[in-house]
């Protein structure tokens, strides 16, 4: 890596791919493995920056798709980049916008049309739209993919937009995060192999174009921006669905390009996530950092860490928090259940988060029952602290050579609520 970035591995697991390290960025270090806080629209929902810090978060990931639509990348750039805009002075990441283009586009209209391909549906949850907008959207194709880029409609107002690899990089340069990602086509786990292969090959061509756009704009020797811009690291995306040969072919192709690190994306069937990650990480160069995109299940995180991933992001801790679904070492509880109304113990007895130190389950239950905004804040603090602390403990366990013991102990009681 270059331009102010470096990645040091401190300790490797003896029989598996997992490792503990430090990822240095212009805005500070990230001790890995690390769970990344999602700051979709340049805000970790319901949390002020000092509250984000308090969860133990080291890095915040913004969504390019959302920030492009609102407030627009030009405003974020004028503000000094996503970190400065949102008052977060630590490291930042942005994704490429690809996932939302395909999932939000495909999901609400339930139709994705492509110039020469069958519909691709991404099976993840998304936030709804008003009936009227939904109706209007249904009548039109929402996502059109061609070899040069993707046409899509805004989830907000149905307006038409187009992303290309070059445009995604241009927007991410304006957003100014420390770590940015190449623009890829997100395929569905239900896509057939022939389609997955074509999508993979397209993603490789797009990866090369992202790299070229990044180097043209950001390389230290670039005439366009010589010395004037803060440096950003570009991570390539390894896709390939659930097929071992495609995953491996994908990893080899992306490896050859000179990315600063890697994002491992794509939709996994639940049971093959660990395998898919291992296939890829056995090929990817050990000395570069690997980010696993959008995975946040407890068992999945253990599996991803031991199979060599360094950073993780997932929206579920904060999204679930806002519904009152809170994580404990024994599993999730719904704080709106009647029994919590008179439970004056903290949510989790030995949890060091602001919420557990200062408030009772009864108070959290009251806030959710009263639909008080503070409920969403306190619940988000707890859930985010839970995941950040969990991955931090995995790091400590790797350093102590006790990962398996920690994993087995944790999973032995987790879900036994």
Q: Which residues are near a second copy by CB under 8 A? A: 41-43, 45-49, 51, 70-71, 75, 78-79, 85-87, 341-342, 344, 354, 358-360, 362-363, 365-367, 369-370, 372-374, 376-378
What whole-number distance in Å separates Cα of residue 91 and Cα of residue 83?
Answer: 8
At residue 315's C-alpha, the angle toward residues 311 and 319, to 5°, is: 150
What whole-number distance in Å separates Cα of residue 94 and Cα of residue 172? 7
Smallest distance, Å, CB 19 to a second copy? Answer: 35
63/151 with CB nearer a second copy: 63
Nearer to a second copy, 282 or 372 (CB): 372
Q: 329 or 366: whose CB is closer to a second copy?
A: 366
Shortest Cβ distance from residue 326 to a second copy (Å)?
16
- Segments of 172-224 assigned E as strands: 179-181
Residue closer to a second copy by CB (options 49, 265) is 49
- Render 355-415 in DSSP notation, one character per residue: HHHH--HHHHHHHHHTT-HHHHHHHHHHHHHHHHHHHHHHHHHHHTT-HHHHHHHHHHHTT
Least gap, CB of 374 to a second copy (angstroms): 5
**Triad 24, 29, 31: Cα angle to 5°:** 105
Please say which residue, 49 or 296, places its beta carbon nearer to a second copy: 49
For the bound state, the minimum distance from the C-beta of residue 218 to a second copy, rounded and expressed in Å, comes to 24
Using an 8 Å Cβ cutoff, are 277 and 133 in contact? no
Q: How far is the CB of 128 from a second copy (least distance, A)?
A: 14
Separation between Cα atoms, residue 77 and residue 228, nearest integer Å: 14
Q: Closer to a second copy at the Cβ: 79 or 208?
A: 79
Q: What is d(CA 104, CA 121) in angstroms, rounded to the nearest whole number?
A: 10
**Residue in 147, 241, 133 with CA at minimum distance from that of residue 197:** 241
Burial of 227-249, coded b for 16+ CB within 10 Å and e otherwise, reads: eebbbbbbbbbbbbbbbeebbbb
Catalytic option among 50, 313, 343, 412: 313
Which of 95, 178, 260, 300 is catalytic? The answer is: 95
Sign of CA dihedral 115, 119, 125, 131: positive
Whether 95 is catalytic is yes
Q: Tell the smallest beta-carbon distance from residue 85 to a second copy (Å).
A: 6
Residues 123, 183: Cα–Cα separation, whole Å: 19
Residue 12 or 322 having the CB closest to a second copy: 322
Contacts of 116 (CB under 8 A, 6+ apart): none
Task: Report the alpha-carbon distance of residue 76 to residue 172 in Å, rounded.
Answer: 10
CB of 401 to a second copy, least distance (A): 38
Catalytic amino acids? 95, 313
């Amino acid at each position: 890596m270059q331009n102010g970035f470096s990645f040091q591995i401190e300790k490797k697991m003896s029989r598996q791919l997992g490792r503990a390290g430090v990822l240095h960025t212009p805005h500070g270090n990230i001790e890995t493995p690390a769970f990344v806080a999602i700051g979709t629209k340049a805000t970790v929902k319901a949390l002020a920056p000092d509250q984000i810090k308090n969860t133990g978060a080291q890095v915040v990931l913004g969504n390019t798709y959302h920030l492009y639509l609102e407030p627009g990348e030009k405003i974020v750039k004028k503000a000094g980049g996503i970190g400065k805009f949102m008052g977060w002075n630590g490291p930042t990441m942005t994704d490429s916008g690809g996932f939302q283009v395909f999932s939000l586009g495909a999901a609400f209209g339930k139709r994705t049309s492509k110039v020469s391909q069958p519909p691709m549906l991404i099976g993840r949850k998304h936030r709804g739209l008003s009936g009227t907008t939904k109706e209007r959207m249904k009548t039109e194709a929402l996502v059109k993919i061609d070899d040069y880029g993707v046409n899509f409609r805004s989830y907000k107002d149905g307006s038409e937009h187009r992303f290309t690899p070059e445009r995604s990089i241009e927007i991410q340069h304006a957003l100014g995060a420390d770590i940015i990602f190449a623009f890829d086509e997100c395929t569905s786990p239900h896509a057939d192999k022939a389609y997955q292969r074509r999508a993979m090959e397209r993603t490789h061509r797009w990866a090369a174009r992202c790299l070229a756009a990044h180097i043209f704009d950001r390389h230290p020797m670039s005439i366009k921006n010589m010395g004037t811009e803060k440096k950003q690291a570009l991570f390539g995306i390894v896709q390939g669905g659930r097929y071992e040969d495609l995953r491996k072919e994908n990893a080899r192709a992306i490896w050859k390009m000179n990315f600063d690190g890697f994002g491992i994306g794509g939709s996994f069937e639940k049971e093959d996530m660990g395998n898919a990650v291992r296939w890829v990480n056995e090929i990817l160069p050990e000395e570069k950092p690997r980010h696993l995109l959008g995975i946040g299940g407890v068992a999945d995180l253990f599996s991803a860490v031991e199979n060599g991933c360094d950073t993780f992001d997932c929206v579920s801790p904060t999204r679930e928090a806002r519904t009152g679904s809170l994580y404990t070492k024994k599993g999730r509880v719904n704080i709106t259940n009647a029994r919590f109304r008179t439970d004056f113990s903290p949510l989790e007895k030995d949890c060091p988060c602001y919420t557990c130190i200062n408030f009772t389950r009864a108070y959290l239950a009251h806030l959710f029952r009263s639909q008080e905004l503070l409920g969403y804040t306190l619940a988000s603090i707890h859930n985010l602290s839970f995941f950040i602390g969990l991955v931090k403990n995995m790091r400590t366990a790797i350093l102590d050579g006790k990962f398996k013991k920690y994993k087995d102990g944790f999973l032995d009681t987790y879900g036994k609520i």
